[in-house]
């Protein structure tokens, strides 16, 4: 008997759902707080057709899953992000684009980059955007989750758009970047005003193309990460991967004033590593401090793993201190427990926070998360909320209580899937009592596949 291997990212709760539904008055175990008013939305990879060739989790079409909460009542809807590629494949009735694990198909006019808008979300200047770091954002209508179309800032957008822009909670500015793997400048840096006007874009010099998934801001600075997950077409002539992690290459962190340019950036070196996601950054006297989930090396993009260590792909929370006077760099691990998807109370972004939240990684070769870790950076302690046996969640976001004064006065929420019962729910946890039972579990009427990044859009927004 021949056993056909099933791609794990097309199986079980990684498998896509295809029906778009809207359901009112969802069942709730517990009670939704009456002052919790807004919408939780999560983006993720959800191929509408059987993929061509090798499928990577990052390849699928974007699908939004949203739970709107008002007066203790929750409604659910899910919708595809209707990108240009999604529309073309819908018309064709089949997949047209290959994924990035497949070599270019010279006879396929659709071979190449596909903007799936499947990765993350941002709310800025009264508009929600669905993001994929290789192309334009897509404007999304709330609460309907309908796709309005590509969002190009009146055609001023001249670069790719990161999946992780940063919105300064004080100035209202949104800071973003776009990277290129093929042609210089390999990095472009942009600032959008609080009113939603793209003010300017400047090039930043990098020696070569790198995968730069995230970055960070402080009150006055922007921090870029030139990490050794590199793109080099010349390696293919040597029989090596074009994309690979170079463990013998240092990591570089570039710090520049928010409204600076390439002439004002300073680079700091530290040992080789990779960072998918930052938690926050802030200024502390002469130092810029960065907190992020660090991995020693990665095979996420089919890198040549012959040189990688046994700790590859295991993310742990770390802190870097960059001294702007002396140029010194200090790096330390804050916890040896593996976790990812770091978040904070976004009202404190770019400023020093007492608390941070990550998702605790399960003991699995797949990216499964078994709980929420709350870090108290003041005491150095942490607490964990466990989802339960056979229950796995996704990125957790913080929803502040309206009028709250305490940084952690609010709720943590994420989708959780129960592999035993095959059901999904939105779990709402009191952020000041993370080890306690959820205050509410909203039962979702269909399976919500594991996905990527989420957002909480408060009712007043």
Per-residue model confidence (pLDDT) at position 309: 67
| Contacts (Cβ under 8 Å, ≥6 apart) of 215 | 162, 164, 166, 177, 222, 223, 224, 225, 278
Pairing of strands 410-418, 391-393: antiparallel
Q: What is the DSSP letter of 10?
A: G
Ranges under pLDDT 70 in the chain = 1-5, 236, 301-309
Residue 2 is predicted with a pLDDT of: 46
Query: Cα-flanking dihedrals φ and ψ of residue 310, to 5°?
Result: -70, -10
Per-position b or e across 230-269, b if 16+ CB within 10 A of its CB? bbbeebeeeeebbbbbbbebebbbbbbebebeeeebeebe
Separation CA 395–CA 405 (nearest Å): 24
CA triple 426-427-433, angle to 5 deg: 160
DSSP helix/strand/coil, 86: helix
CATH class of 8-458: mainly beta
CA-based nearest residue to 74, from 401, 428, 433, 448: 428
What are the residue boundaries of the structural domains of the chain, listed by start? 8-458
pLDDT tens string 224-271: 999 999 887 777 677 777 778 888 899 999 999 999 999 999 999 999
- Left if phi > 0, otherwise alpha if psi is -120 to 50, otherwise beta: which for 23? beta
pLDDT digits (tens, 9 = 90+) for 58-91: 999 999 999 999 999 999 999 999 999 999 999 9
142's tokens: 């709330």
Tokens for 82, please give them: 């209707």
pTM over 0.75: yes
Exposure of 104 in the CB half-sphere (CA atoms within 13 A): 6
């Amino acid at each position: 008997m021949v056993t056909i291997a099933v791609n794990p990212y097309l199986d079980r709760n990684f498998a896509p759902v295809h029906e778009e539904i809207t359901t009112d008055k969802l069942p709730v175990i517990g009670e939704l707080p009456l002052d919790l008013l807004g919408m939780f939305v999560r983006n993720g990879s959800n191929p509408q057709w059987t993929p061509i060739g090798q499928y990577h989790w990052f390849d699928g079409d974007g699908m939004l899953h949203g739970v709107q909460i008002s007066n203790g009542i929750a409604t659910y809807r899910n919708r595809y992000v209707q990108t240009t590629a999604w529309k073309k494949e819908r018309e064709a009735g089949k997949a047209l684009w290959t994924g990035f694990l497949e070599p270019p198909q010279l006879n396929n006019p659709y071979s190449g980059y596909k903007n799936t808008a499947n990765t993350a979300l941002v709310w800025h200047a009264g508009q929600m955007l669905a993001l994929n770091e290789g192309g334009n954002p897509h404007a999304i209508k709330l609460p309907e989750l309908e796709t309005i179309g590509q969002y190009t800032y009146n055609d001023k957008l001249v670069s790719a758009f990161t999946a992780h822009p940063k919105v300064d909670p004080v100035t209202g500015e949104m800071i973003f970047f776009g990277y290129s793997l093929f042609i210089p400048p390999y990095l472009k840096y942009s600032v959008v005003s609080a009113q939603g006007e793209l003010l300017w874009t400047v090039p930043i010099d990098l020696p070569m193309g790198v995968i730069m998934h995230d970055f960070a801001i402080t009150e006055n600075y922007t921090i870029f990460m030139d990490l050794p997950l590199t793109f080099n077409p010349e390696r293919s002539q040597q029989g090596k991967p074009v994309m690979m992690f170079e463990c013998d290459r240092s990591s570089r962190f570039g710090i520049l004033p928010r409204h600076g340019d390439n002439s004002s950036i300073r680079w700091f070196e530290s040992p080789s590593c990779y960072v998918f996601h930052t938690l926050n950054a802030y200024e502390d006297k002469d130092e810029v401090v960065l907190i992020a989930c660090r991995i020693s090396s990665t095979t996420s993009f089919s890198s040549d793993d012959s040189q990688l260590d046994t700790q590859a792909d295991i993310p742990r929370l770390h802190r870097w201190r960059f001294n702007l006077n002396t140029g010194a760099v200090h790096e330390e691990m804050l916890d040896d427990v593996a976790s990812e998807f770091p978040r904070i109370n976004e009202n404190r972004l770019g400023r020093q926070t007492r608390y941070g939240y990550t998702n605790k990684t399960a003991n699995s070769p797949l990216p499964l998360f078994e709980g929420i870790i709350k870090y108290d950076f003041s005491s150095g302690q942490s607490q964990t909320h466990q989802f339960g046996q056979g229950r796995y969640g996704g990125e957790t976001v913080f929803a502040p209580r309206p009028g709250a004064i305490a940084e952690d006065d609010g709720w943590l929420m994420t989708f959780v899937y129960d592999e035993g019962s095959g059901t999904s729910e939105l779990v709402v946890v009191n952020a000041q009592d993370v080890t306690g039972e959820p205050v509410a579990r909203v039962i979702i009427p269909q399976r919500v596949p594991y996905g990527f990044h989420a957002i909480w859009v408060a009712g007043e927004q």
